[in-house]
Every structure is written in C-alpha cells, then in structure tokens.
Structure 1
Amino acid sequence: MDNESVYLNPSSDPQATGVEAGNLSDTTDLRKENLKQVNDKATLREEELRQEMEELILTALYKELRESKDELRRQIKVMTRNNELMALSEERYKTLVNNSQDVIFSCDLQGAFTTINKKFCEVTGLPREMILGKTIKDIQSDPGYIQKWTEAFTRVIADGGVNSFTYRYERNLGSKITGYYDVTLSPLFDSRKRIVGVIGTNRDITRTIENENKIKHMTYYDCITDLPGRVLFLERLDNAIRTSGKNSNQAIIIILNIDNFKTINNTLGYAVGDILLVETATRLQKCLRGKNTVSHLNGDEFGLLLENVEQEDDIVNLLKRIGKIFDEPFEIKGESISLTASIGVSIYPDDGETYEELLKNAATAMQVAKKSGKNRLEFFNFKMKHEFLKTLTIERLLRKALHQREFVLYYQPQYTISGKLRGFEALIRWNSPEMGLLTPAEFIPIAEETGLIIQIGKWVLNTAILACKVINDKYCSDLIMSLNISPLQFREKEFSEYVIKAVKASGLNPKNLELEITESSFINNYDSVAKELKSLRDCGVRIALDDFGTGYSSLSYLKKLPIDLLKIDKSFIQEIDFSNPCNDLTESIIALVNKLNIETIAEGVETLEQLNFLVNAKCNYVQGYYFGKPSAEELIDDIVGKAIERQK
C-alpha cells in the first residue's frame, strides 16, 4: 500500500514532472467548467425561485380575488334579499294601509292629499284620482269638520306636534246612521328633521262611544224600569236645592216603598216582581208634570223629586194622585195583585239643607210609616228623627249586649185563683250602660228585625230553666217557669230538640217549663208550628197561648193546637167593670175554654174588683201588679218563702 501511495504521488515520480504543466491546464479548464455549471445551476435555481415566488404571489392574489368575489357575491345576495324584503315590506305596508278600517292619508304643506288608502275612497265616495292633489275643502261639505280639520292641520305645521279631535258624522245608507271619528294628524319629517307634510288617520270610534253611552246609561238609569237611578236622582236633587235656594222655593223629596214586596218576589217570582216595578214606575210617571223626577232607588223603593214648589196645595194634590195609583190592582200574567205603599216626605229647606239630610229624613219618615202599620204617609219631623236614631243606637248596642252580659231576667209571680203560688213568668230586661234599664217593648221588636232574638231567646231559655231548677230543689217545690217564645224562634230548625236538650241538661222536670206563644207564630205556618208544639208537649213541656183575642186567632185553633193554657190579654182585664157589657165576653171566653180542657190565666190584674170578677168567672190563674211586680232573681226567695208561710 505504501508503494502504491508513492507511485500515485506525482512529486515522487520523476516522470511526472513532464506532464505537470499539461495537467494543470486541464484542471483549470475543468474548474472553469465546474464554475460555469455552478453558475448555470444558480441561475436556474434563481429562475425557479422567481417563478415560485410569482406563483405564490399569483396564488395569493387569486385567492384574495376569489374571496373578494365571494364577498361581493354575498353582499350582492344580501342587497338583493334586502331589496326583496323592502319590496315585500312596502307591499305589506300598502296592503295593510289599503285594507285598514281606518282612513289613512298624507298631504303636503298646502294641505293637498298626496297618498290615500282604499277606506278614504269608501268613506268619501270618491275615486282615487279625484282626491289626490285636492284639499279638504274640495272633498268635504261639512263646514264643522272642515273647520276642525283646518285648525288641527295648522297647529301641526306650526308646532310640529300631534293633534287630534273627535267628529260626529251622519250618513244615509237606506236609513240615517250616526257615528263618530277620532281624527289624528301628525307631522311628516325629512332626513333633516324638516316638516315636509302631514300624515293622518280617521278612526271610527262609534262602537266605543256607544259602549261608553251604555255604561253611562247603566250608571245613571235603572236597568229594570229605565228610570233615573240613585246617582242621577241625587245629582238632580242637589241641583234642585241650589235652584230653590236662589228662587226661595221649596223642593219636595218623597220616598215610596212598596209594602211586602219581598213576599211577592218569593211567592210569585222575580219576573212578576220586575213587571210590578215597571208598572208602578209607569203609574208614578203619569202623576208628575214638568221637570219633576221619578227615580227607582233600589228593589222596592222609588224616589220622587218636586222642584220649585211654590204652594203647599201642589204637594197635597200630588200625594193624593200618588195614593190613587195603588187603588187599582195590577193585572199580571193572569194574577190580580193589590199593592200598598209606605211613603215618607221631607221638604227643603225645612227638613234639611243638603241632599244627604233630605234623603235620610224622607227615608226616616217612610220607615215610621211602615212601622206604623204600612200603607201610610208620614211627613218628616225632628222628633221622628230622634226616635229613629234611638232605634239605630239600640240596634248597634244590642250586638254587644249578649257578650257583655247586659241582659237580666225579672220574675213576676203567678197564683192560682185561690192565692197559691203557681210559679213565675220570666221577663227579660236590658241593663244597658249607655241607655239604662230598658223594657222588652223597647228592644225586642228591634231584636226580632235584626234576628238577634234567636241568640237572646236561647239565653232566656237556659237562664230561666236554671233559675226554676234551683228554686224547686231549694224548697222541694213544683213551681212552673213560664217564658215567651218569639215567632222567629219557631222558624229555627230543630227548635223543639234544642228546648228538650236544654231541659234535660238542667235536670228540670219538663212539666215545670211553660212556653208562651203568640198568635202570629202560627198564622202563616200552622202545620209546622203545630208539629213543633206537639213534639214539645209529648216530652211534658207545657204550651200557653199568649195575647188571645188581640189578633186573628179563632176558637177553632184552640181545638187543633196542643195548648195547655190560654192567657187572657190584659186589655180585656183592664176593661173589667161590673157595668161594662164586655165583661160578658171575657166570662164567655173563660167558660168556653174551660170546656175544651184548657186552663186560663189572666194577666194585668191590678185591682180587687178585677180579681173578684175572675174568681166568679172561674179563671184558673192570675198575675199582675195586684200580686206583685216583676222582681230581680235575688228577690224570688222572699216571694217563695212568704208563699210557703201562707200555706202553713
């Protein structure tokens, strides 16, 4: 390997020096050739790079151009879609405007119409070409409408605000039709906020106005009789007071209440009741003349107003005419119905200076007429008002009296005709802190009207039963406790069961309890009351008929009702005089009742003469001031003790 290396090295080869120059020249040429090739390659690469760069640039430009083209296409598509939407929106707008039931229009600053909808043409009866370019004066003949429209148009142009007005129109479409338009005008602005015209609408509000009128009519007029209602009546009354005050005349207020109208509704039906109200309204209207008013205030109550009355004769004559309207029966659905009315009258300025006072005072007079027996007329006076306010006070205080334990029982002794103590009648008293000690006559009627008598009656029953039990147990006696029962108590369901439970709970022997009923308890519902009384009597409770002869009862009731005792009213006893023929009637009643095996007791005995008469007439029992006044519970012991001493 070394020899080969030496051999290959030219410097070590003597023969190589001769060809060295030639080899060098060849090498130089070779290098040039190589360099040229390198340059050629470089030039070629440079061209390739340039072409590549151009391709990249072109590609990028093409891509950008393509994206721009796509964006342009998208934008063109969006613009096209927007134009379609705008065209659709405009078409919809035109359709809505043309199909609108409102009149829609626009006009320039001179008032010439520039656009109108189909409804405009329908309302005016003019074709489109005869309206455009014309003003309101050219197409409208109503001077009132032209004036209102022109005034509103001028204000819109001047102020730049919305202006509106309501217009009443009339049309002849076979028949005359009245309607109303709500006209609204608004300014039309350009892009610089300058007014370039006016746009407007006419909306038909006829139905709205009609509904408002109906509501107003319902507010001021009664739906049954179509007479003025309470609101309108009070307005007219207030106005009449002011007018009468200026002219020094009188105003008369009349409140008329139909008697027993609730009963008519309940028995014949509300439809008949409504017809009666309409017929009554018609008759009342015929009574009045001129500016006077008839009003239906509520269900069974009418109000009448007489204005500018100068002479009292006018009032009297009118009241006579009013009274006569009920003389003739009302013929309704085959029924002949007779009505009466309770009437109250107040006069301005004598009975009040405000409509509230006058209306209340007339109503007070009417209530007095009703409580005095109905079918009456009463003029208001201030004593009447005092009594009425007292009644209202009693009603208010009654509601708390039970809870405050303000009621007490007084006991009046009852004796046999021979003088033996029979028992007691329990009589309620009201010891009111505000009004003092009140008798039953002062508050029981009010308690019955309000229904409070039911609770009061239960308290009386329980308290009296307990008092009787205590006395009988203490003295080993067999005394009877008698107490009054209101007709309203009989109408309560299971009344007899309640009484029987109360007796059993106290331990009192049922035969020691005596319940007093009045004729009014069974006049209208005989069968029901008879059934309740029989249930009580079967259990041993005694039944007494109170105030016999003062009402409608007859002797036939005595045969049918389960009655143990008949109580002769004190009005008969007070008439007892040995020279009075009425004594024969009292004596006959006692004799006849005794034959029916019914005992008798006379109340209100105050003199020896009366007692002697009752002894001769064979009356069984007596009570009254001659024997003793009603006493508080703590005095019962003294009464019973003295009675026992007398019997020894």
Structure 2
Amino acid sequence: MTLGKRALLVIFPVILIIQLIAATTAYLTQRASLLGLEQARLAQQLSALKSAYLDYEAFNRSVLYSIIDSEALLLFLRESDTAFRNETLGLRIQQSIRSLSNTKLTFVSFAIVQPDGTPAYYFESSLSPFATMNATQQRIVREARQSSAVSGMVYVEEAEGGPLLLDTDFILPASSSRPLPSQRAEAFTLQLAVRPERFIKLKRSLEQEYGAPVEIAPQLAPIEPGLSADMLLSRSLYARLTPAPEYIAERLRTLGLAFLAGGSLMCLISIALLLWLIRRYVTGPISELDDQLTDLLLCRRAALDEPSEGGEIGRLTVNMKTLHERNTAALQRIQEISWTDSLTQISNRAHFGILASSLYEQSIEQHKRLALLFLDLDNFKQVNDQHGHDAGDALLRMFARRVQGLLRQHRVHHPDSETAFARLSGDEFAILLQTGTGDGGLPALCEALLELCRGGFSLDDRVYPVSVSIGTAWYPDDADSITQLLTRADTAMYQAKAEGKSTVVAFSAALEQHNDRMRLIEDELRALDGEAQWRLVYMPALDREGAVVSCEVLLRWHSPLLGTVSPGEFIPIAERAGLFPKIDSWVIDHALADYPRLVELFGRQVILAINVSSAQLTDDRICRYLIERAAHHGVEPGRIEIELTETYAAELSSDTMDVVQAIRQAGFRVAIDDFGVGYTSIQQLLEYPADTIKLDMAIIRRLTRPDMQESLNALVAFCQAQGKRVNAEGVDSLEKQSALLQAGCDLFQGYLISPPRSLAALRDWMAVRNRAEGALRLEQLPPRAEVLAG
C-alpha cells in the first residue's frame, strides 16, 4: 500500500476526531474565557463602585480634617457666647464646608456635639432653616463615643432621606488635639455626613443590569461558588454582586450554538485541506526529513543533513537545521545566565534551589548529612548608603571571591565533602556542605569565614568595617526538608545578628522555642490591656550629698499567659513591630500622673526621667504629646527628662535632631542613656543636645577598677566641661561608688542605692532612709560613700 493511501486511511478518522476534540476544547476554553471575562467585568464594575465610594470617603475625611485644623472651629470650641458662636463662627464653618464641598452633592451636613451629647451646632445643605440631626446621625455619634476604634467612617444604607456616609471624629477643646479613646467623654464630637449620590446611582445601575441586589455590609456570609464578585470598599465595609442565573445562561447558550456550527464547518474544511496538502507536499519528502528529526531528537545525530533538493521541504530542512543550531547555542547561554549571579558570577537563587534539591536527594539516598550555612554581611547597608552602590558591588564581588577560594581549600582538606555556594539576594549568601557521618569540618569552615571578614574589606585605600553573621542547620538533625533547612538556618542567622553580629549560631530547639516566644510576645503586646497588665516602678538617683534628685520610670509587664516579661525581652520586640507609640503614650501619661506623689516623697525639685523609643523621633508628634500631657497633669516641662539611647544618638539625622531640639525648646530636659556602649565620637558628644550623660553600667564596670581611675576622671571631667551632668548607672558596690565620687560624678544610680520600686515601696524606702539619717546625726558621720549607699 502506498504512503498516500496509508495517509488517507490513517489521517481521515484521526483528523476528524482531532477537529471535534479541538472544537469542543475551544468551546470549553471560550466558555471559561466568557465566564472569566464576565467575572473580570463584574470585578471592574465593583472597582468602579469602590472608586466612587472612596471618592466620597476621601472627601469626607479631607473636609473633616480641614475643619478640625481650621481657626474657625478652634474659635467655635473656645467661644463661651452661644449666640455669637452659632451665628458668626457657625457661619464661618458653613462657608468652609461650602468652599470644600462639591457643588454636585445633594446633601451635606456638619454637626458639633458637646461632651454631654447635646448638639452644639448643626448645619446641612437642605433648604429647611430648622433642620436638626436625625436619629441615625445621633446614633452614630453615641456608638463612636463608646467605640475604641480610631476610624470613624460609617456607611448607613437605611438612613432618613437615603443612604449616608458619615465621618465622626473627636477633639479636646483645651488642647485642640485628638483624644485617646479613654478621653472621648471630655471631648467634642465632630460629624460630617454626605449623601453619595454617584455611588448610589452606580449601585442601582449595576442592580438593574445584573438583575440582582448589591450587598453592602461589614461582613459577608459565604456563598456557593459561581459568578460573583466581592470587593473591599474600605477597611470594614464589603460589597458583593451575584448576577441572576439567567444573566449568564443566555450567553452560554448562544456561544454553544455558535461553536457547534463553526466547529462542524471547520472540521470538514480542515480534513479536506490537510488531505490535499499531505498528498501534494508531505508524502514523499517528509519521510526522509522525519527520519532525520527523529534521529536528532533521540541524540543519534548532531545535526540535520544538507538538503539534496530545493522547494519547500528543502528550505524547511535548512531552516530547521539553522534553528536547531541557534537553539542549542541559545539554550546553553540561557542556562548559564539563568543560573549565574550577574554581579558575583556565582550561582544565583534559582541555581541554588536546583543544587540544594539535588544534594538533598543524594543525602537521602546515600544516608549523608547536609549542612546549610546562611551568611549575611553586617553593616553592608551603611556601605551602600554612605559610599554608594558601586562600593557595595565591589565589596560583594570581593567577598564572593574570598569565599570561593576558601571553599576550594576546604575541599582539599575534606575530599569526602561537597560544597555549593550561591548569592540569594542583596548581601545574603548560602553555602551547602554535604558530608558523611561527621561534621565535614563545618566548625573550621565557619571560623574561617569569620576570619575572612575580620578587619573589614580594603577597597580603594578605604577600609569598610563589614563582617559576616552565620546561621547553620543540619539535615536530618534540624530539618526534614530543604525548605525547612533554609528557614531554620535563616532563623539561626538572625539570632547571630541579635547576639552582636560577626558570630556563628547553630539552629537548636531552644532557638526555635525562643522565636516562638518572641512571636507570642508580639501577639500579646498587640492585644493586651495596659491598665490590667502594665505597672510602673521608679529607680531613684542620688546626688553627691545623698539627696534624691531624679527618678527614672521603668515599665514592668505581667501577662496572664506569659507571666512576668522583662523589658529587655519585650522592648526590642515592640520597637521592631512598631508598637512603641502605644507603650510610650501609656508610660508618659501614667508617669506624669504619678509625679505629684514623687514630689511628696522627694520635694518639688525632683526630676522625672522617662525613656522614649528612638523610633518616636521621626516626627514631632512625640513632642506635641509630651507638651499636651504635661499641661494636662500640671507638671512643669523642666521637671521632666527624656532619655535617648547613646546608640541612637550616634545616628541622629537632621530630622530627628530637629525633634530633639524641639523637645528641649519646649522646656524638657534631654539625657543620653547607656553612654559608652555605642560608637560615639568626641565631635558627636560636643554636638549632642543633652543636659545629662548617663554612663552605662558596662563602662562603669571597666572604669571603676583602680588602674582606670584616671581615665574615669578624664571622662567625667570632659562631659562636665561641655555643661552636661554625669549620672552613673549600675552602682552596685561601695568600691564603684567611691571611685565615681573621686572622679566627681554628679549623680549615682544602681542597686547599691535602690532597685526599681513601686511608689509604695519608695515611700517605705524613704522612711527607712530618714530614720537612718536621723540616727546618723546623733553619731559620728561615716565616709561619704556609705552615706550615699544608705
């Protein structure tokens, strides 16, 4: 039987079936595309609805903020003459609203409600001169006063006259600032309401088009899968549109009929055309070309033969030969590029994943151990920020070359081990080390990597103090998958960072428990009630005569779930999670409330020292809060000292320096805490806007040794020469106190004098001191150091 007849007998039924399958597949694909298109269109419609809603919400918020910041509102709140306030100042507020309002809005209202719930002023855009707040507006005001939420934007579907969008806020008349949730009872309530006509019109248009209502609610119930779209209009408001079933059924029916007719016609045309083409062009020459291609695909030959005849098949052979050669070269080049980091010329993350999977599978099959070293360069960001990315790139290339050379030496000394090195991202690198039953020289390799970076990197006559932190994890000891191995090595690396950088930390169960506890502490900090779980203690500081001149307030936390959590544990977590504004506000408010009791104990000149998170110094909100709270509690700013850590002070930018200067200009004192543990230069010390330098207990421990007395004298004298008072922390022995007295230190603070105490315990401590001083007056006075120690 000839090849033509065979083609006819074989291809006819095959093409018929293929065409039918193709038509059916195309229908199903098009059906899915239609559903997807309708779904996308539905989502787009809801996006337009959301955009309309957000326009009104943004209008509400901007107008209300503008009114809150306006001079007319401040005069209104502070004016005692009701008639003048409502007629003159009320008119100015109306003019402000009209100037900010869109003329297309059919309804705009603004209300000011007094702390007792009585409307102080109400204005709306209706023609009625006797308009008052409706029941919905009054209900929203009451609910906002009782809520602890910050946002006050509410959408009400069933309101008098139609849907309303209401924004509610509060303001303290005395300070013209927004109150805490606990202060809302003494604040005026401001409410702006608009009728979102364009939003309502668009919503009704969608309901008419799709034959189904648009659901709008704070929470939507689950529905069956199908054509439907949900959209988050705002932080707590959702919209859902589920078209009626007949909406999509008609479109699918029309599509099915069209594909049935079109598929049948295309099937017949394709069969006829393919049979003709096969008979004319393919039957003869294709057999030889097919044989060559088969051999090429099976790797039995390296290239196609040169064509022996012209025509389409000849040109096709030439083109396929050229395409094969180009594809082979391109694939080889693509593989090299896709697996190589363009900067360091080592493996990249994608290639590392392939290498890791391969070594992991080998380790399973051959019962070998696999170690992962996660490397992160310390202080690399400072290199990029201070010296530019060119310097950072050169440093990364140098580091990669050094590590490659180190790994070559390691393989020479440990021939049974296998390594892989890759750059994962930025300044993060990873090393895989496969070995038999031993450690494969991992400790020596880690030490060599640390040594590689000791002394930093020298580039262009400049030394960059960049080191490396390393986290390690083993398979199968620490992980049972390559993903878990990478995660746990990364966890160990972050622990190495936390322990001071330039060190190696191996993953352990204790480290995992530590990380779990850190996550639990963060979750508890986000949800805790400060009034129930936080308390304040105070640590007094004495002058050279033994008098208490200041008290540092310290926060203590006892969690019902975690028990007592030390500040050293939860404060870094709170700073990293951005929770310190909440903590600082609570501490400042309650410490200032306690200040009169400190005055009762130690006199009117006692200074209250409050630690403030460095993250709070990015803008002047902390300064305004301090001023407002000090005025609220009646405490003079000069009696309050704000403590900043020395590590942060060494990195003061122009913006944060402005905030610190603003705090001092407001009358508050500023102290640099933990001095001696950072990287402060003499020039920076001269520029510090500080009244007090608090020497850290670590430097006190070193400098109070007899052989360091002169250095201690010089340090104290230098600080005092700049007009700064010196406070020594960590005074826990008479020897240290005596050395500090000899050096001329101004203040003394530590467990020798008093540990942190509650106000009640401070009262008892002071009573004991007073009785001891009374007894000492009747006897010969002991040395000064013993007097201070009490």
Cα 1:136–1:107 shift into 2, 3 Å: farther
SS at match of 1:631: coil
CA offsets 1:247-266 (integer angstroms, 9 cap, x no match): 23211111112223444454
Alignment length, in residue pairs?
478
Give the corresponding residue for 1:260.
Answer: 379
CA offsets 1:321-362 (integer angstroms, 9 cap, x no match): 655765784869x99866432111212223233334422321
Q: Which residue of 258, 266, 275 maps to 1:106?
A: 275
Q: Which residue of 359, 367, 380 maps to 1:248?
A: 367
Q: Do 2:703 and 2:711's aligned partners in 1 also have CA atoms closer than 8 Å?
A: no
Q: Do 1:481 and 1:512's aligned partners in 2 also have CA atoms closer than 8 Å?
A: yes
Q: Which residue of 536, 559, 571 maps to 1:409?
A: 536
How far residue 397 of structure 1 moved from its aligned partner, in angstroms, is 2.6
Q: Which residue of 287, 290, 304 maps to 1:137?
A: 287
CA offsets 1:594-615 (integer angstroms, 9 cap, x no match): 4444333333333445445544
CA–CA separation in structure 1 for the residues paired with 2:585 and 2:649:
20
Cα 1:170–1:359 shift into 2, 3 Å: farther
Give the corresponding residue for 1:603.
Answer: 729
Give the corresponding residue for 1:627.
Answer: 753
Q: Which residue of 289, 302, 327 maps to 2:429?
A: 302
Letter in 1 for 2:525: L
CA–CA separation in structure 1 for the residues paired with 2:632 and 2:528:
25
SS at match of 2:750: coil
How far residue 456 of structure 1 moved from its aligned partner, in angstroms, is 1.9
Q: Do 2:675 and 2:696's aligned partners in 1 also have CA atoms closer than 8 Å?
A: yes
CA–CA separation in structure 1 for the residues paired with 2:380 and 2:297:
57
Q: Do 1:347 and 1:358's aligned partners in 2 also have CA atoms closer than 8 Å?
A: yes
Letter in 2 for 1:482: A
Does 2:688 match 1:561? yes
Q: Do 1:421 and 1:643's aligned partners in 2 also have CA atoms closer than 8 Å?
A: no
CA–CA separation in structure 2 for the residues paired with 1:335 and 1:170:
56
Q: Which residue of 167, 171, 176 maps to 2:325?
A: 176
How far residue 630 of structure 1 moved from its aligned partner, in angstroms, is 1.1
SS at match of 1:369: helix
Does 2:653 match 1:484? no
Equivalence map 1:49-64=2 (5 Å): none
Q: Which residue of 436, 457, 463 maps to 2:563?
A: 436
CA–CA separation in structure 2 for the residues paired with 1:139 and 1:475:
103
How far residue 637 of structure 1 moved from its aligned partner, in angstroms, is 4.5
CA–CA separation in structure 1 for the residues paired with 2:676 and 2:716:
12
Give the corresponding residue for 1:186.
Answer: none
How far residue 513 of structure 1 moved from its aligned partner, in angstroms, is 0.3
SS at match of 1:177: helix
Equivalence map 1:632-643=2 (5 Å): 632-639=758-765
Letter in 2 for 1:250: R
SS at match of 2:365: helix
| Structure of greater Rg | 1
Letter in 2 for 1:244: S
CA–CA separation in structure 1 for the residues paired with 2:706 and 2:450:
40
Cα 1:452–1:170 shift into 2, 3 Å: farther
Cα 1:115–1:468 shift into 2, 3 Å: same
Equivalence map 1:39-54=2 (5 Å): none
SS at match of 2:326: strand
Letter in 1 for 2:325: K
Give the corresponding residue for 2:179.
Answer: none
CA offsets 1:263-286 (integer angstroms, 9 cap, x no match): 445455667766766775566556
Higher mean displacement: 560-569 or 276-285? 276-285
Give the corresponding residue for 1:159.
Answer: none
Cα 1:142–1:394 shift into 2, 3 Å: same
CA offsets 1:126-171 (integer angstroms, 9 cap, x no match): xxxxx6x6374355441627999xxxxxxxxxxxxxxxxxx99984
Equivalence map 1:96-495=2 (5 Å): 105-106=274-275, 113-116=278-281, 134=284, 136-138=286-288, 140-142=290-292, 144=294, 171-173=320-322, 176-178=325-327, 233=352, 236-267=355-386, 284=403, 287=407, 292-309=419-436, 311-315=438-442, 318-319=445-446, 322=449, 329=457, 339-401=466-528, 405-469=532-596, 471-472=598-599, 477-495=604-622
Letter in 1 for 2:645: T
How far residue 434 of structure 1 moved from its aligned partner, in angstroms, is 2.0
How far residue 569 of structure 1 moved from its aligned partner, in angstroms, is 2.9
CA offsets 1:573-632 (integer angstroms, 9 cap, x no match): 55687x822233334433444444433333333344544554454433322223322122
Higher mean displacement: 515-524 or 550-559? 550-559
CA–CA separation in structure 1 for the residues paired with 2:395 and 2:699:
42
Letter in 1 for 2:510: K
How far residue 417 of structure 1 moved from its aligned partner, in angstroms, is 2.5
CA–CA separation in structure 1 for the residues paired with 2:717 and 2:439:
57
Q: Do 2:470 and 2:496's aligned partners in 1 also have CA atoms closer than 8 Å?
A: yes
How far residue 291 of structure 1 moved from its aligned partner, in angstroms, is 6.4
How far residue 521 of structure 1 moved from its aligned partner, in angstroms, is 2.5
Cα 1:575–1:274 shift into 2, 3 Å: closer
How far residue 382 of structure 1 moved from its aligned partner, in angstroms, is 3.3
Q: Do 2:675 and 2:694's aligned partners in 1 also have CA atoms closer than 8 Å?
A: yes
How far residue 512 of structure 1 moved from its aligned partner, in angstroms, is 0.9
The two structures have a TM-score, normalised by structure 1, of 0.61
CA–CA separation in structure 2 for the residues paired with 1:549 and 1:285:
38
How far residue 520 of structure 1 moved from its aligned partner, in angstroms, is 1.7
Letter in 2 for 1:479: V
